[in-house]
Structure 1
Amino acid sequence: MANIETVQKVIPFKESKLSKKEQIASMFDQIAFRYDFLNHFMSLGIDRIWRRIALNKLKSLAPKTMLDVATGTGDFAILAEKRLRPEKITGIDISEGMLQIGRQKVEKLGLSDKITLQSGDSETISFPDATFDAITVAFGVRNFENLEKGLSEMRRVLKPGGKVVILEFSNPTVFPVKQLYNFYFRYITPLIGKYVAKSEAAYSYLPDSVKAFPQGKAMVSILNGIGYQSVTCKTLTFGICSVYCATR
């Protein structure tokens, strides 16, 4: 079973002396120019459906202020603005390369007054306690250098009664989806990364990080241990992806 120590040891550049956090920032800076295209291409567009399902978990809450952690190029924040219409969304990420692309998208859509994308670390979130009604993370928590610290910081800046929604890859267990998924992730994904994003390491790290990440009951247990309430996990598309919801 995956554990937190294993997650922290999975890094993109195995020969590098940089910390995991520094490697992650560097990796996303390198692939930022192809990130959105590859997300949609490699998932056959299903990632868009996953995001909508995740955001539906917040509809009843009708949040006014939202934080999107590991926002990347801002796709999740932009979709949240469209579907939930909060007053303000703040997105944070450690990759300035990703943020630059995200800011261009936000400006082009005329959403600069609603969405702010800024440099920020999940483990030291620069906002006071109980700031946000809702917090989202899409495909980002497995990249945290310290998973528990990042999740604890998210809880700290969440208002009492507020919700966190985490969307993350998981490992399917049903035959033959498991076998096809593992083959695609292990052999095809790195080749696509090598030739399209010019980074085989980044797309070899992807399956390694998913495999190592605590999933299902293990992730629910971690969230409960940190102090979150009403923690749930819903698997999507035969277990390829999971949505975790929790309340402060």
Structure 2
Amino acid sequence: MKPYNTDQTKKEEVREMFDNIAPKYDLLNHTLSMSIDRVWRRRVVGEVRRAKPGRILDVATGTGDLAIAMARRIRDVQVLGVDLSEQMLAVARRKIEARGLDGRIVLDRGDAERLAVADASVDVATVAFGVRNFGDLGAGLRELARTIKPGGKVVILEFSRPRNRVFRALYEFYSYKILPRIGGLVSRDKRAYEYLPASVGEFPAPEEFMAMMARAGFRNCRARSQSFGIAQIYIGER
């Protein structure tokens, strides 16, 4: 599915959507999730830190929250953050400079399916809430695998549909009824906040997604459920 259903490709529409909502993205992201997304990112950082990486590739880095968290909590690490949206990157640059991390985080506008990164050149690749926006999910996973050194790993944080029926019903009521109204009012782009929860419903279930990771070249793929299945942390090794 696409945010606006125009003649543009999904990739083009996703870039336009994030350019549109970038100024209010952080406010809405943390407010609408009641800041639980911060907890999930800390767990991602913990998983990444165990690999003792020197160089991390953060794809779909957005406004830089995960890149910043990794640079602050992992000693001497260098992070390359890549994103399609120049407006999201502009927000990320301001945050990174304000925290004095511009020497450890480099940002680049780029395409997850055609990364300007050498083969086997990073220790860990991460994606937070971005893989469901890839134009071609399989191609994006293969690109991540290509960039990671043997023995390295990928860590992906993404929303999922809770399995418990009651909790799923509550979650979907909030996602489909409440979130688009608030998000649309604040960002002035209601269709963006209709697309974002709807794209979760279309994303592969954890077992199917891990099978896709395996086909892309990852091994020992596993998922850690977060907050009753609202999100998953996926881990794969190279």
Structure 1 residue 125 corresponds to structure 2 residue 115: yes
Question: Partners of 1:85 and 1:71 in 2: how far apart?
Answer: 20
RMSD: 0.8
State the match for 2:131 in structure 1.
141
Q: CA deviation at 1:115?
A: 0.3
Question: Partners of 1:60 and 1:201 in 2: how far apart?
Answer: 39
Match of 1:196 among 179, 186, 193: 186
> What are structure 2's unaligned runs of at least 5 residues?
none
Match for 1:104: what amino acid?
A: R
State the match for 1:106 in structure 2.
96
Match of 1:11 among 2, 10, 29: 2
Per-residue CA deviation, residues 24-55 of structure 1 (Å, 9 max, x unaligned), is: 00000000001011111011010000001112
Q: CA deviation at 1:142?
A: 0.1
Q: CA deviation at 1:169?
A: 0.3
Question: Partners of 2:4 and 2:104 in 1: how far apart?
Answer: 36
Question: Partners of 1:235 and 1:45 in 2: how far apart?
Answer: 17
Q: Match of 1:182, SS?
A: helix
Task: Check the 8 A contact 1:106/1:112 in 2, yes or no.
Answer: yes
Sequence identity, in percent? Answer: 44
Q: Match of 2:48, SS?
A: coil
Q: CA deviation at 1:59?
A: 2.2
Report the number of matched residues.
Answer: 238
Q: CA deviation at 1:60?
A: 2.0
Task: Check the 8 A contact 1:34/1:197 in 2, yes or no.
Answer: yes
Match for 1:17: what amino acid?
A: D
Match for 2:131: what amino acid?
A: V
Where relative contact order (Cα < 8 A, 6+ residues apart) is larger, the structure is 1
Tell me the TM-score normalized by structure 1.
Answer: 0.94
Task: Check the 8 A contact 1:65/1:86 in 2, yes or no.
Answer: no
Match of 1:96 among 82, 86, 92: 86
State the match for 1:64 in structure 2.
54
Question: Partners of 1:154 and 1:34 in 2: how far apart?
Answer: 29
Moved over 4 A (4+): none
